[in-house]
Amino acid sequence: MKKNISHIDADTQGAPLKGIRGEMITFHEDPFLVEDESKCYSHYSDGLVVIQGDKILAAGDYMEVATFYPDLKDIDRYDNAVIIPGMVDTHVHYVQSPMIGSFGDTLLQWLNQYTFPTEARFRSEEFSRSVARLFMGQILKQGTTTANVFSTTFPTSVDALFEESERYNTCMITGKVLQDRNLPEPLRDISAEGSVAMAEELLEKWHGRGRQLYAVIPRFAPTSTPRQLELAGDLYQRNIDRGVYMHTHLDEADDEIEWALSLYPEAANYTDIYRRYGLLGPRSVFAHCCLVKEEEWQTLHDYDCSVAHCPSSNLFLGDGMFKIWEAKDHKRPLRVGVGTDVGAGTNFSLPRQLNEAYKVSMLKKHSMGALKCFYMATKGGAQTLHLEDRIGSLAPGYTADITVLDMHPTEFLKWRMQFNDFILDRMFILQTLSPDNLVRATYVAGKRVYDREREQQLLYAADL
């Protein structure tokens, strides 16, 4: 007799069935909030994901799942690898790809010296397009299938990313960056009204077109006039029920906080600046949050805001230290994902961010194993973006965004892995050693868009 496992029957008139077979792990309850780890994940040493079109029909033990799909013949099989949900980058600036790794300094000097001149180049359609291509190629090679992305001032920078995302059929979130003071002329919005009208036009053009989603993005409080924040808050609030996002930076570094409060002296704290302009709510995502005060955590929780933890960026710029145990306090937990924050972040890889997140946490003696880490990079990231009903899990009905990590990506790792059997131990080794070729394959909406062993690795060439 067939076991009662969760699955969707194949549509006999629909697209052909496709399978992905290999060791597999997917995540359930939040391990930061649930003591019993066994409720937080399912692991199959020989797993099978069955896909039809862009949807997962079933995911589980190969022997159990295969019996429901006698017609399934087309199976990609991966040995010495682990199949996981596609990873989610909750904060990244694609427009900073050309200046990643620039010699650092404090946040504000780094912005003036490297970031602003680079972003000014995105007025050009051609330049925007070439960087968007490069960026999409890089994140797919690292197993990231959804990202919450900063573009810059110019609509060309927004169009270029969405167009490239549409080509791959990835779910991407971006929008025009709103910034009308305290930055050089080429990037500065001419007026608060004009800039927000431009953002609204882009929102109408892109939000909900295929898998593309729009975010209202004031860069951070110091680079917006009160009028621009007010109009941005109004645009976000008017579109909140349509699933539009708000994305910005918060409490990253000491001098930044001091500057923000000097420009908004009426605010009780940095979070309160955004609150006063209607910028807090579901789908509002705040990057960094390293130096958050208790009353701010409470406000962020009360408004159901999300946080993007960007450890490699925080270490690179010498900002504050993110306190995951505060963000996940059981009394007022927040949705927390991981962000690469390229170009202050030093790579496009989420597993490498997990390596840094672990170390940042350990500096204050809070240990964080692979379960918590990979939860944040997959289902936790989807929750951070309120997309946990469609991505971040290998389960029936979810979109088939899937990543395959190689357990033997290098000669040394192949040798090292023989000394551990437990899946979470091996995943911790992967995140800690995390070589550049860690990802074996990436699937987006059921299609293999990256295959490390294929001659043309990416489905579309990422030409510069």
Closest separation in Å from C-beta 106 to Zn ion: 15
Which stretch in 106-114, 178-186, 287-295, 373-381 sits in contact with Zn ion by CB under 5 A? Answer: 287-295
Contact positions with Zn ion (CB under 5 A) in 354-383: none
Q: Does 159 bind Zn ion (CB under 5 A)?
A: no
Query: Closer to Zn ion at the Cβ: 48 or 177?
Result: 177
Q: In what order do the strands lie in the sheet with 439-444?
A: 55-61, 41-52, 17-27, 75-85, 402-406, 439-444, 447-451
What is the pairing mode between strands 41-52 and 55-61?
Answer: antiparallel
Whole-angstrom Cα distance, residue 61 to residue 180? 54
Nearer to Zn ion, 55 or 93 (CB): 93
Residue placing its CB nearer to Zn ion in the complex, 107 or 438: 107
**Please, what is the minimum distance in Å from the beta carbon of residue 441 to Zn ion?**
29
Residue in the block written with tokens 């899990």? 393
In 3D space, the residue among 457, 404, 438, 421 whose CA is nearest the CA of residue 79 turns out to be 404
The minimum distance between CB 93 and Zn ion, in angstroms, equals 6
Q: How many CB atoms lie within 10 A of CB 434?
A: 20
Q: Which is nearer to Zn ion, 287 or 427 (CB)?
A: 287
| 340 or 383: CB nearest Zn ion | 340
Residues in the chain: 464
341 lies in the binding site for Zn ion (CB under 5 A): yes
In the bound state with Zn ion, the residue whose beta carbon lies nearer, of 55 and 283, is: 283
CA distances (Å), origin 408, targets 47, 79, 343, 415: 18, 9, 29, 8
Residue 249 to residue 220: CA distance in whole angstroms: 5
Binding segment for Zn ion among 282-290, 298-306, 416-424, 445-453 (CB under 5 A)? 282-290
Q: How far is the CB of 224 from Zn ion (least distance, A)?
A: 15
x/- letters, 239..278, toward Zn ion (CB under 5 A):
----------------------------------------
CB nearer to Zn ion: pick between 218 and 446:
218
Q: Which helix (H) or strand (E) holds 215?
A: strand 213-218
Upper half-sphere CA count for residue 346 (Cβ side, 13 Å): 15
User: CB of 311: closest distance to Zn ion in angstroms?
Assistant: 13
**Number of residue whose CB is nearest Zn ion:** 341
From the CB of 317, what's the least distance to Zn ion, in Å? Answer: 10
Q: Read off φ and ψ for residue 89, nearest 5 degrees.
A: -95, 115
**Count of CA atoms in the C-beta half-sphere (13 A) of 217:** 24
Q: How far is the CB of 314 from Zn ion (least distance, A)?
A: 10
Residue 287 to residues 215, 217, 309, 310, Cα–Cα distance (Å) = 14, 12, 6, 7
From 116-124, 135-143, 175-183, 337-345, give the range in contact with Zn ion by CB under 5 A: 337-345
Task: Based on the shown chain and the rule CB under 5 A, indicate whether residue 89 belongs to the binding site for Zn ion.
Answer: no
Structure tokens at 134: 């490069």
Backbone angles phi, psi at 333, to 5 degrees: -70, 150
Stretch that binds Zn ion, among 39-47, 262-270, 281-289, 424-432 (CB under 5 A): 281-289
* CA pseudo-torsion sign 204, 233, 258, 89: negative
Residue 287: CB minimum distance to Zn ion, A: 5
Nearer to Zn ion, 96 or 393 (CB): 96
Which residues contact Zn ion (rule: CB under 5 A)? 287, 341
